[in-house]
């Protein structure tokens, strides 16, 4: 009964946060005893993969979000030319949005020129973190050289049971644990759960090598097609937030809502409402 009551309380808190999300920030006030949250909620632009950059910016303003993990999809952050990339950077800056990370960026070549080009792309955008997809383990020493040169963190994204190499964050940790401390993980909590890895334990295990997180929820722990809005499934968000606070996590929790691509905002709004409700229940501003 207690679990049901707590869930209903969180959902009520989420509903309040959803209403607050429609109010300009200067009019939205947190509870008097709420503290600044060490959890920073952001957006993975892949969520809005069916929509152009202008719409992404419009929706982020509605959601009161100021940080984005950009994907080279549509015109979100083009990698086709430095000029196209700069136009996107300028648009985000004008809207008060900071590009904190980029990805997933695929490192499928063990080649200096290819790797350098991707680090230059990240540098121009001011990214602190590259979220990397599927680099082979043998390429990591070469990538590490560029991490040192550019001082940009390299976060390998786990993709669950289907991933040939990086099923869970623990697989990433095994590969990078003796490398430069800027070599680490982007934990996708949905794929981590599907890999049979306890998400909370994985956060503690990875610790200071956790540089970014992709947030989502599942109705069934082993079913990729069971994704739902955050709060509708079984993902232990409160425990996840507590673990992030315990390890003094410095990155973002970026929503990556991969369903309902042509009409994402209802689920996106619900997801942020729920996460903000959880934080409010912890006495923190969302």
Here the tokens at position 22 are: 């429609």
Decide if 221 contacts 193 (C-beta within 8 A): yes
Per-domain residue ranges for the chain?
A: 39-281
**pLDDT level of residue 282 (50, 70, 90 thresholds):** very high
Spatial separation of the C-alpha atoms in residues 124 and 89, rounded to whole Å: 9
**Model confidence pLDDT, tens digit, residues 66-119:** 999 999 999 999 999 999 999 999 999 999 999 999 999 999 999 999 999 999
Which two structure tokens, joined as six digits, stand for 13? 């808190």
- Binned at pLDDT 50, 70 and 90, residue 9 comes out as very low
Structure tokens at 262: 């042509």
Give me the pLDDT at residue 163, please. Answer: 87
CA pair distance 215, 186, nearest whole angstrom: 10
pLDDT given at position 14: 45
Q: Which of 185, 234, 203 is nearest to 39 (CA)?
A: 203
SS (HEC) of 90-109: HHHHHCCCEEEEEEEEECCC
SS3 call for 39: coil
Listed residue (38, 47, 21) closest to 245, CA to CA: 38
What 3-state DSSP class applies to 220? coil
Handedness of CA 60, 229, 4, 39 (dihedral sign): negative
CATH 3.20.20.150 for the 39-281 domain, yes or no: yes
pLDDT at 273 over 80: yes
Residue partners of 31: CB distance under 8 A and separation at least 6:
280, 283
Burial 170-192 (b: 16+ CB within 10 A, else e): bbbbebbeebeebbbbbbbbbbb
pLDDT of residue 164: 85
User: Using one digit for the tens of pLDDT, what is the confidence trace for 11-64?
Assistant: 444 444 443 443 333 323 334 344 567 899 999 999 999 999 999 999 999 999
């Amino acid at each position: 009964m207690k679990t049901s009551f707590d869930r209903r309380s969180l959902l009520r808190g989420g509903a309040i946060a959803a209403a607050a999300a429609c109010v300009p920030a200067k009019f939205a006030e947190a509870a008097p005893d709420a503290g600044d949250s060490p959890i920073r909620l952001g957006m993975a632009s892949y969520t809005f993969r069916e929509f152009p950059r202008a719409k992404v910016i419009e929706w982020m303003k509605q959601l009161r979000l100021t940080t984005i993990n950009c994907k080279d999809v549509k015109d979100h952050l083009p990698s086709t030319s430095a000029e196209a990339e700069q136009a996107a950077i300028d648009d985000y800056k004008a809207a008060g949005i900071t590009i904190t990370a980029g990805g997933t960026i695929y490192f499928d070549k063990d080649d200096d020129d290819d790797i350098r080009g991707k680090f230059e792309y990240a540098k121009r955008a001011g990214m602190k973190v590259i979220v990397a997809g599927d680099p082979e383990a043998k390429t990591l020493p070469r990538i590490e050289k560029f991490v040192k040169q550019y001082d940009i963190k390299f976060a390998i994204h786990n993709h669950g049971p289907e991933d040939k190499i990086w099923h869970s964050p623990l697989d990433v940790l095994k590969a990078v644990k003796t490398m430069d401390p800027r070599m680490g993980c982007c934990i996708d909590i949905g794929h981590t759960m599907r890999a049979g890895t306890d998400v909370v334990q994985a956060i503690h295990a990875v610790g200071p090598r956790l540089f970014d997180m992709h947030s989502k929820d599942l109705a069934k722990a082993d079913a990729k097609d069971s994704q739902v809005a955050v709060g509708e499934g079984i993902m232990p968000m409160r425990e996840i937030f507590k673990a992030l606070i315990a390890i003094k996590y410095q990155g973002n929790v970026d929503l990556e809502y991969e369903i309902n691509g042509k009409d994402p905002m209802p689920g996106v709004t619900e997801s942020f409402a729920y996460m903000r409700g959880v934080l409010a229940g912890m006495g923190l501003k969302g």
